[in-house]
Structure 1
Amino acid sequence: MAVAGKSRSRATPARALGAHRGLMTEIVVRQLGKNYGRVAAVRDLSFDVPSGQITAFLGPNGAGKTTTLRMLLGLVRPTTGEALLDGQRYEQLAAPQRTVGAVLEATGFHPGRRAREHLRIAARLAGVGAGRIDVVLEEVGLTDAAGRRVGGYSLGMRQRLGLATSLLGDPAVLVLDEPANGLDPAGMAWLRALLRALADDGRTVLISSHVLSEVAQTVDHVVVVHEGALRFDGSLPELAEGDGGLEAAFLRLTGAR
């Protein structure tokens, strides 16, 4: 532990996932920093995300979570330090979509495009065989809605489509920003089962979330940041022990009221 200053759901979504058990792929962040002019969005941030577990990346709005994830995925250049995936920066990966599946928002879809066509294009760009399309549609419960235009999807359905896209390359690492947004209770239970199946398969799963009640039911490991700096890095039981549980610990670490 480190502490510093309506679509169909499936109950067991692991059947068609790849065999990643035993892989040591993990995320390593070391002394990561990002400045925008005189503003330090991320400051000297270091933590590990182990394989075979679900790690929650928590912090209030403006804490630097999205900036950190964007640096990890090669979308923003760090000012200092580095963020590594299996020992390499994202841009050094030979086949990034087959190593890392990422969902940073559920709005980046052409509204006139049908879900299956979106996945067909994404698979082609990632160098993935078209046979994976039906697999991931089944995994996220969108098989029956695959012929519908994405513009008619609910937010929860777009979240599922984003997850399907991230799974196309059968990646060993998943990076998901607010994956529960727009999901109803049944959808959240489905997501919980999916994430657990992915972690139990040996994958590295990193999720950013504001839904602390769901985090408490889902994750193994927690990283908390506030004002761009690390506040906690350890297991969920270590963080949640004591009066008030996870929510009280989070509020104490971030100084929220």
Structure 2
Amino acid sequence: MDMLNQGVEMIRVRRLRKVFGGASAAVTAVDDLSFDVVPGAVTGFLGPNGAGKTTTLRMILGLVTPTSGTATISPGETGDKRYADLPNPSSVVGAVLDKSAFHPARTCRDHLGVYARMGGYPDSRVAEVLDLVDATSYAHRQARGLSTGMRQRLNLATALLGDPRVLILDEPSNGLDPEGIAWLRRFLRDLAGQGRTVLVSSHVLSEAEQMVDHVVIIRRGRLVTAGPIADVTKDGNLEQTYLALTGAAA
């Protein structure tokens, strides 16, 4: 598959809001949130625990219905579209939110084969993505015997089956050793270098600073700042800037 021959997509979030619960016990998880995630860059999605990051990602992917506002993939070949309205969503957006969505007795190759058939992709794509994430050597192993790093690579391989132009990852470096983190950093930068749109949530600021080109920082469901990391951190490093902007510097 040739991603560069496909349309160029970005993520566009506009005045997104999500309220859980009824009027007497309403909790606003995301509040009037707007930002763009542009192609050709790794964008870090940052914020304290409970800031609304995962809820936002789930709304972008159509897993949670917004109370108001929109989350779309744009411009695409047919204009802005919600994830649920894409004709073949896995060929446009690849996502990793659930770190344990494997049948324990299924091998890596079999797991990918199931998802390839579900997406309508050729069997040859399984070998391609295994090679892409350097997982061919353990493709025969059952999921129950995989290390955390192996599981993360299998998750990425699954997300990449449709050769998507957009990749959304929730805390992809969790549980990885230094070697695995370094590999992930290089891998995501390579994908962005191909013109893809990569959105990564993270709470490890030191790693995010080395990995991302742009940042979107939220607090209590609202946008604090967004832009190129060089602009956002011009008065300090990412950790200093983040702590100051989120009110956690004390």
Give me the TM-score of the superposition, normalised by structure 1. Answer: 0.90
Instruction: Report percent identity of matched pairs.
Output: 54
In the alignment, structure 1 residue 251 sits paired with structure 2 residue 235: no
> 44, 68, 80: which one pairs with 2:68?
80
Partner of 1:215: 208
Are 1:130 and 2:123 counterparts?
yes
CA contact 1:52–1:201 (8 Å) conserved in 2? yes
What's 2:9 paired with? 25
For residue 40 of structure 2, what is the aligned residue in structure 1? 52
The 3-state SS of whatever aligns with 2:112 is helix
* Distance in 2 (alpha carbons) for counterparts of 1:241 and 1:184: 30
Aligned 8 A contact 1:21 1:52 in 2:
no
The separation in 2 between residues aligned to 1:30 and 1:96, in whole angstroms, is 20
Deviation of 1:185 after TM superposition, in Å, equals 1.4
1:237 aligned partner = 230
Higher relative contact order (CA 8 A, sep 6+): 1
Counterparts of residues 61-72 of structure 1 (less than 5 Å) = 61-72=49-60
CA contact (8 A) 1:156 1:181 kept: no
SS of the residue 1:202 aligns to? coil
The CA deviation at 1:142 is 0.9
- Contact 2:3/2:163 (<8 A) preserved: no
Question: Partners of 1:215 and 1:250 in 2: how far apart?
Answer: 11
Residues 1:147 and 2:131 aligned together = no
- Residue by residue over 1:198-256, the C-alpha shift from the partner in whole angstroms, topping out at 9 and shown as x without a partner, is 1111110000011111111111110001000000111101122223x100111111112
Q: CA deviation at 1:105?
A: 2.2
2-structure distance, mates of 1:185, 1:214: 10
Q: Which of 111, 116, 120 matches 2:113?
A: 120
Correspondence for 2:87: 94
Amino acid at match of 1:57: F
**Runs of 4+ that moved beyond 2 A:** 17-24
Aligned length: 240
Q: Which runs of 5+ in 2 are unaligned?
A: 75-79
Amino acid at match of 1:253: L
CA distance in 2, matches of 1:162, 1:130: 17
